Amino acid sequence: MDTAVDTTATDFATLDEVREAALAVLPSDAHDFLEGGAGEEATLRRNRNAFERWAFVPRVMGGLPSPSTTTRFLGVDLALPVLTAPFGADGLFHPDGQVAVGRANAAAGTASIVPEAGTYSLEEIAAAAPGAAAFGQVNPLGTDEGFLAMVRRYERAGYRGLCVTCDVPIQGWRERNLRNGYLPDHRLFGGNYPSVEHALGQLGQLLEREAPVWSWAKLGELLGQSRLPWIAKGIMTPEDASAAVATGARALLVSNHGGRQLDGQRASLDVLPEIRDAVGPGIEIALDSGVRRGADVVRAIALGADVVVIGRLAAYGLAAGGEAGVARVLELLRAEITTVLTLLGRGGVRDLTPDALTRVEVGPVSRGHRAGGGA
């Protein structure tokens, strides 16, 4: 692994500049792999546009000190209400992949959700960023034994919780990748497996079109054998939220997979208030899909999330500048979150409530079409 820090990444003034730099260095097929969504990409666009439908309602002259960005999620203290997503094939964007992401999170005082289908093993990432490698992602695929073996490895490596991806029994219909025939080198997904063949055996279901789907009952039975609390990822309805909690989930990740799975569904932000109402205040909630700036983080938390999860933003930082690029993304997010909280007249992210926002109408064309959408 190259541990050198790219100091030029500190020169990025905005998150848009980070994205532009990332896309400039990626070949066209990798660009489409990162930017694309499923089907006609309607959900990808909705994810981004949903944030524009919520306007801020500021309070002035409150006499408050500088606002706090600190919070806590599933027992993990965070200096910033942002986790990085478990995006796989991370070595596609930078040779250090999720190792660099973990180190950047450690420096920023936040945490990673580490992917099962990543370039580096979960043990390597935990060793590189022991405080930040907090949550391990698992796919309910393959055999029961293979699933439990991955869970046990996260336990032994000192992870604090699991993130179970519930919305990917098979891969979505991603037409950009279908058109260009693109599939990243399987070695980029195989860091947790002894061979490419082993990885394909465990994860090959993703590429099949007639794969078996696990049930809540089966998932609950297997996760009942672990001591780690778990997050149900891919929750988009109050019914699934209630089912996940009944199965034993301690937290939910409201997510449509960045518009990369089922096209034509609602934006994650649009369903967030319904899910918060369904499970009440006792269940912690994260949100991904469409988050592109610090103001989006504030909106999501005001509508019921405890933290947000960034996928494409983290990948942009990684491609643009490795560890330093991801660190710059987190730094810019923190600065904008602090600015927005100050101008809103709120003392911190934990003080945000729905009355910080009001619903507004937006036109048919928005910046979401320019900047893309997703996790």
Can you say which residues are annotated as belonging to the binding site? Answer: 86-88, 137, 165, 174, 233, 255, 257, 260, 288-292, 311-312
- Please say whether the beta carbons of 44 and 259 come within 8 A: yes
Residues annotated within the binding site for glyoxylate are 174, 257, 260
- List the structure tokens of 60: 């002035």
Helix, strand, or coil here: 310?
Answer: strand
User: Which of 122, 74, 80, 70 has the alpha carbon at shortest distance from 98?
Assistant: 122
**Cα 267 to Cα 54: distance, rounded to the nearest angstrom:** 13
Q: Where are the alpha helices (DSSP H) in 96-156?
A: 97-108, 122-128, 144-156
The residue written with tokens 């279908």 in the block is 178
- Please say whether the beta carbons of 154 and 228 come within 8 A: yes
Measured at the CA of 298, the angle between CA 282 and CA 341, to 5 degrees, comes to 115
- Please say whether the beta carbons of 342 and 349 come within 8 A: no
Residues annotated within the binding site for FMN are 86-88, 137, 165, 233, 255, 288-292, 311-312
Asked about 94 being catalytic, the answer comes back as: no
Helix, strand, or coil here: 28?
Answer: helix
**Cα 40 to Cα 256: distance, rounded to the nearest angstrom:** 15
User: Which of 195, 289, 285 has the alpha carbon at shortest distance from 232?
Assistant: 285
- Please say whether the beta carbons of 325 and 318 come within 8 A: yes
Task: From the candidates 31, 94, 198, 257, give the one annotated as an active-site residue.
Answer: 257
- Which segments of 205-283 are extended strands (E)? 230-235, 251-254
**Cα 323 to Cα 97: distance, rounded to the nearest angstrom:** 9
Catalytic residue list: 257
